């Protein structure tokens, strides 16, 4: 099976549009570069991973995307990144 190696990223977003000016939220997404991975503290990594994992398996496993596998990797400073292997075919 073919795979894509991706990393979990949490991005803060502030909307500047006329109708939603100032709306502030966080977006969870994936990036193909480990340097962009969010470095999570121990008490938050599981929550963010679980949120993305549930949504990805339910809504993003369609067409060529067959599923996802998640691995937590501890960084030198004691925080965690989440490596996401996307299975495609």
Band (pLDDT 50/70/90 cuts) for residue 88 is: very high
Cα–Cα distance between 3 and 84 in angstroms, integer? 10
Q: Provide the pLDDT for residue 20.
A: 72
Cα–Cα distance between 33 and 47 in angstroms, integer? 22
The pLDDT tens digits for 22-75 are 889 999 999 999 999 999 999 999 999 999 999 999 999 999 999 999 999 999
Backbone φ, ψ for residue 47 (5° rounding): -60, -50
pTM (2 d.p.): 0.89
Domain that holds residue 44: 2-88
Structural domains counted in the chain: 1
> 62 vs 12, 50, 84, CA distance in Å?
27, 19, 16
């Amino acid at each position: 099976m073919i795979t894509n190696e991706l990393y979990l990223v949490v991005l803060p977003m502030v909307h500047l549009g006329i109708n939603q000016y100032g709306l502030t939220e966080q977006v969870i997404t994936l990036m193909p570069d480990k340097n962009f991975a969010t470095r999570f503290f121990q008490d938050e990594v599981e929550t963010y991973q679980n949120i993305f994992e549930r949504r990805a398996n339910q809504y993003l496993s369609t067409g060529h995307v067959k599923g996802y596998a998640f691995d937590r990797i501890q960084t030198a400073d004691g925080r965690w990144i989440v490596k996401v292997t996307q299975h495609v075919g």
